[in-house]
């Protein structure tokens, strides 16, 4: 039976090539899409963690309630002591204090709302990797009136390295304050909603500008295992209660804002897209297998006339589908792995699209998306191709087995 199946496959090379090409293309597309979608989700999550949420954030409860308003008066007064207390938790790897505040910058007579972020340049490096994303100049230094500005924001304001950015804002006590900051670097995270509205300055200078000496508005926390964030948050909140520091709270990344909601939605949508592609690929294979059997109606009629039983006809077609599925899926997996690897190293540049849609997104998106190369994806893509090749051959095999030899042999 196996020898007959092999002979049938090689006897009609055109039909075999057509069927095999459909299977290989389906496998290649599935591997590519899995790679791309995995990369989009992972990159978005990494940006969300690095720039916005950390694995945990320590906040004043009153700040959390009105975070969009940047209520500087609701700060963390005993910042250093709380930071040391948190670092004693064995799950904690990195902590860093930040101050976020709103600023209205003037641009051609119009006011542009942006966000200033006071950071400790040394500690922040482990979180946001700022120095790796500088496209011009250098990173800010503690004790200096310096700033790093997002690339889009710098272009909009006409700023370049060496220029001065004048910041006028409201202090924690409601009075107005101003500071001239020298632009020493321009960064590009590849996230339009951040590159277009954020500038960094040293934490000590932010404290000086905002009358927040020794205080911060939040403490960023990174953990060994991000999935342990809710459990660690409960431990820290229990510690706050024990130390009579109940005006502070630890918030895990899973509970932070609409971005996480959109990320969960994205996973569901991308999962549906994957399912849809698998379904379409399966129908393509099914259609190709049906066409293959229909072309062989006369041949199948002759085999049945020579005494081949229905069961043997079914097994013959399934064997052919299995052999073609293995060969074509291997080719598809090979090409899919090459594309997936290229995508993981070079990525797809979507900057032209996001430049036109700037301002639409309030959550992390990137200019360049890279896929994630995984041998597991390649393997499951291969398995998908083989499985659906055999599965798609069942209906036409059943139909072939039900053919009447006389009618089949009269088919042209």
Q: Which of 197, 216, 235 is where one domain is finished?
A: 216
Q: Are residues 77 and 204 in the same domain?
A: yes
Question: Where in the sequence is the domain holding 351, given as residue range(s)?
Answer: 2-48+260-409
- Scanning 12-60, the segments in alpha helix (DSSP H) are 13-47
Would you state the torsion angle of the CA atoms of residues 374, 379, 383, 385, taken in this order, to the nearest 10 degrees?
A: 70
What pLDDT, on the 0 to 100 scale, is given for residue 343? Answer: 85
What pLDDT, on the 0 to 100 scale, is given for residue 354? Answer: 58
- Is 303 a domain residue? yes
What is the distance between the alpha carbons of residues 313 and 304, in angstroms, rounded to a whole number?
8
User: Which among 301, 313, 243, 233 is positioned nearest to 57, based on CA atoms?
Assistant: 233
- Is 82 a domain residue? yes
What pLDDT, on the 0 to 100 scale, is given for residue 232? Answer: 95
- Is 66 a domain residue? no
Q: Are residues 23 and 126 in the same domain?
A: no
Rounded to two decimals, what is the model's pTM? 0.68
- Is 63 a domain residue? no
What is the distance between the alpha carbons of residues 194 and 124, in angstroms, rounded to a whole number?
16
What is the distance between the alpha carbons of residues 184 and 196, in angstroms, rounded to a whole number?
17
Q: Are residues 203 and 106 in the same domain?
A: yes
What pLDDT, on the 0 to 100 scale, is given for residue 305? Answer: 79
What pLDDT, on the 0 to 100 scale, is given for residue 258? Answer: 62
Q: Are residues 305 and 398 in the same domain?
A: yes
Q: Are residues 276 and 402 in the same domain?
A: yes
- Is 241 a domain residue? no
H or E element that contains 336: helix 310-346
Q: Which of 216, 244, 279 is where one domain is finished?
A: 216
Q: Which of 187, 216, 245 is where one domain is finished?
A: 216
Q: Are residues 335 and 401 in the same domain?
A: yes
Q: Are residues 153 and 189 in the same domain?
A: yes
What is the distance between the alpha carbons of residues 11 and 190, in angstroms, rounded to a whole number?
54
- Is 366 a domain residue? yes
Q: In total, how many domains does the chain have?
A: 2
What pLDDT, on the 0 to 100 scale, is given for residue 47? Answer: 73
Q: Are residues 267 and 400 in the same domain?
A: yes
Per-residue pLDDT of the chain (412 residues), as tens digits, is 666 666 666 666 777 787 788 888 888 988 888 888 888 777 777 777 777 788 999 999 999 889 889 999 999 998 889 999 999 999 999 999 999 999 988 766 677 889 999 999 998 888 888 888 899 999 999 999 999 999 999 999 999 999 999 999 999 998 999 999 999 999 988 777 788 899 999 999 999 999 999 999 999 999 999 889 999 999 999 999 999 998 999 999 888 766 567 667 767 777 787 778 777 767 776 777 777 777 777 777 777 777 778 888 888 888 888 888 899 999 999 999 999 998 888 877 766 665 555 555 555 555 667 788 889 889 988 998 898 888 888 887 887 777 777 766 666 5
Q: Are residues 270 and 184 in the same domain?
A: no
The SS3 call for residue 114 is: strand
Q: Are residues 42 and 81 in the same domain?
A: no
What is the distance between the alpha carbons of residues 327 and 317, in angstroms, rounded to a whole number?
15
Q: Are residues 336 and 197 in the same domain?
A: no
CB 168 within 8 A of CB 105: no
What is the distance between the alpha carbons of residues 304 and 148, in angstroms, rounded to a whole number?
79
Q: Which residues pair with 168 in a beta bridge?
A: 178
- Is 247 a domain residue? no
What pLDDT, on the 0 to 100 scale, is given for residue 111? Answer: 76
- Is 227 a domain residue? no
Q: Are residues 133 and 207 in the same domain?
A: yes
């Amino acid at each position: 039976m196996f020898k007959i199946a092999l002979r049938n496959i090689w006897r009609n090379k055109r039909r075999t090539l057509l069927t095999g090409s459909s299977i290989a293309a389906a496998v290649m597309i599935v591997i590519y899409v899995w790679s791309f979608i995995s990369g989009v989700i992972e990159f978005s999550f990494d940006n969300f963690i690095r720039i916005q949420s950390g694995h945990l954030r320590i906040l004043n409860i009153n700040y959390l309630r009105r975070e969009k308003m940047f209520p500087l008066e609701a700060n963390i007064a005993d910042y250093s002591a709380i930071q040391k207390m948190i670092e004693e938790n064995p799950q904690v790897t990195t902590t860093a204090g930040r101050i976020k505040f709103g600023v209205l910058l003037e641009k051609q007579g119009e006011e542009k709302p942006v966000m200033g972020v006071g950071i400790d340049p040394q500690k922040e490096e482990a979180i946001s990797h700022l120095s790796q994303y500088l496209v011009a100049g250098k990173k800010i230094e503690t004790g200096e009136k310096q700033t790093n500005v997002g690339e889009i924001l710098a272009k909009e304001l006409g700023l370049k390295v060496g220029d001065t950015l004048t910041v006028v804002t409201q202090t924690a006590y409601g009075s107005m304050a101003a500071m001239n900051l020298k632009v020493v670097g321009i960064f590009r995270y590849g996230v339009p909603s951040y590159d277009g509205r954020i500038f960094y300055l040293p934490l000590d200078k932010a404290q000086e500008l905002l009358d927040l000496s020794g205080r911060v508005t939040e403490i960023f926390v990174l953990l060994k295992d991000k999935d342990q964030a809710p459990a660690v948050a409960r431990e820290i909140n229990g510690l706050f209660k024990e130390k009579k520091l109940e005006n502070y709270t630890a918030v895990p990344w899973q509970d932070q804002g609409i971005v996480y909601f959109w990320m969960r939605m994205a996973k569901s949508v991308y999962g549906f897209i994957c399912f849809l592609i698998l379904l379409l690929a399966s129908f393509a294979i099914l259609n190709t297998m049906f066409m293959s059997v229909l072309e062989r109606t006369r041949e199948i009629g002759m085999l049945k006339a020579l005494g081949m039983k229905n069961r043997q006809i079914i097994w013959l077609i399934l064997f052919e589908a299995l052999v073609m599925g293995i060969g074509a899926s291997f080719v598809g997996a090979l090409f899919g792995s090459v594309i997936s690897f290229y995508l993981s190293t070079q990525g797809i540049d979507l900057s032209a699209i996001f430049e036109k849609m700037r301002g639409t997104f309030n959550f992390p998106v990137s200019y360049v998306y890279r896929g994630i190369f995984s041998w597991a994806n390649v393997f499951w893509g291969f398995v998908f191709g083989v499985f659906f090749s055999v599965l798609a051959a069942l209906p036409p095999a059943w139909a072939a087995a039900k053919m009447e030899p006389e009618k089949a042999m009269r088919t042209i």
